[in-house]
Amino acid sequence: MKAKAFPRAFLIGVLATGATLFATPTLAEEFRCTGVVGPVSLDNVFVPDGASCVLDRTRMNGSVVVGNGASLQATSVSINGNLQAEGAASVRVGGFSTVGGSVQLVQGGTASIDRARIKGDLQFESNTAAISATGNVIGGNLQAFQNTGGASFINNRMNGNMQCKENIPAPTGSGNQSPSKEDQCAGL
């Protein structure tokens, strides 16, 4: 099978800008993020196990998945799909980011979601380091279950329920607006 060649003008542009070109075959238009990505538009983004990814003003037409032991820092991003992390070392989203689906952070380390607009749910489950959500607008529920590193929820507004169960220690925070606050979240 013959490899596809890049047009000469494209290669000259890459050489002139000093950019590094990596060609890795992936399925479903998946971009493997292992460095810094600026204001470009991508389909799906995957942060490989143990890697570190910085997204700055990046637009994702699909979803973002963060691998085991990986770190994601996202500032002023737009994600049309979901943000999912299982076993991630660190996930930080801020700078008025938007997520068209849900955010699910499970069995990881530290996580903070600040000043984001999330159309679906925001869920923290079984994380072992500090987690926080501050100043978010959430179309669905905010849920925190079995986290053991401490949780802080401040000034979040959600259309769904705010539910916290079996977190040690119990979450802290104030100024949260929800039609229903349940269990450990009742006083927040």
pLDDT tens digits, one per residue of 17-65: 444 433 333 334 899 999 999 999 999 999 999 999 999 999 999 999 9
Query: Is 8 a domain residue?
Result: no
Q: For 92-129, how does the pLDDT look when each residue is reduced to its tens digit (9 = 90+)? A: 999 999 999 999 999 999 999 999 999 999 999 999 99
**Domain total of the chain:** 1
Query: Is 88 a domain residue?
Result: yes
Q: Which residues span the domain enclosing 114?
A: 31-183
Closest CA to 46 of 66, 29, 26, 68: 66
Measured distance CA(185)–CA(153) in Å, rounded: 9
Which tokens sit at 49?
A: 């196990």
Confidence of residue 2 (pLDDT cuts 50, 70, 90): very low
SS3 content of the chain, % helix, strand, coil (to 5): 5, 45, 50
Q: What is the pTM of this model?
A: 0.84
